[in-house]
Amino acid sequence: MFRQRDVRRSAVGRQMGLYGTRLADLYGLRGGQNIVETIISSGPTLVLCGIFVTCTLVIVGFLFGRVVFKMNPLLLLGAITGAMTSGGALSVTNEQAKSTVAGISYTGAYAFANVILTIAGTLIMLL
């Protein structure tokens, strides 16, 4: 008796998940109607600017941390990957260093970055 209810609840949950995904797909498709024209008109410029901004901030942050704060490079890389909210980058850092020390500074920077991302997203929407 309980088992049938669990199966029914599970089926309902899956259906709601599928409907939610479908709803997000519809809104996403409607919101991206002009994406092809945008990529064709300014795609390479946007990609190059994104690469430049991302790399510049990481390099400046690393140099600032090493020169001004005299931080351990591994802790600094952990903080940078946390600020980027990039778990993949932390995994690569840990693998290359054969140590999990970067996770110490990743945690605090990650939490702080998520709060800032939430506030910044709200402020951008208000503009």
Tell me: the pLDDT tens digits for 85-114?
989 999 999 999 999 999 999 999 999 999
Q: Assess whether 66 and 76 both reside in one domain.
A: no
Q: Assess whether 86 and 126 both reside in one domain.
A: yes
Q: Assess whether 61 and 79 both reside in one domain.
A: no
Q: Assess whether 84 and 122 both reside in one domain.
A: yes
Q: Assess whether 78 and 92 both reside in one domain.
A: yes
CB 61 within 8 A of CB 80: yes
In whole angstroms, what is the distance from residue 56 CA to residue 61 CA?
Answer: 8
Structural domain including 52 reads 42-70
Number of domains in the chain: 3
Q: Assess whether 66 and 80 both reside in one domain.
A: no
Q: Assess whether 78 and 105 both reside in one domain.
A: yes
CB 102 within 8 A of CB 81: yes
Check residue 124 and give its pLDDT: 83
Kindly tell me if the per-residue pLDDT of 74 is higher than 90: yes
Q: What is the pLDDT of residues 45-69, one digit of tens each?
A: 888 888 899 899 999 999 999 999 9
Instruction: Tell me the pTM.
Output: 0.65
More confident residue, 16 or 79: 79
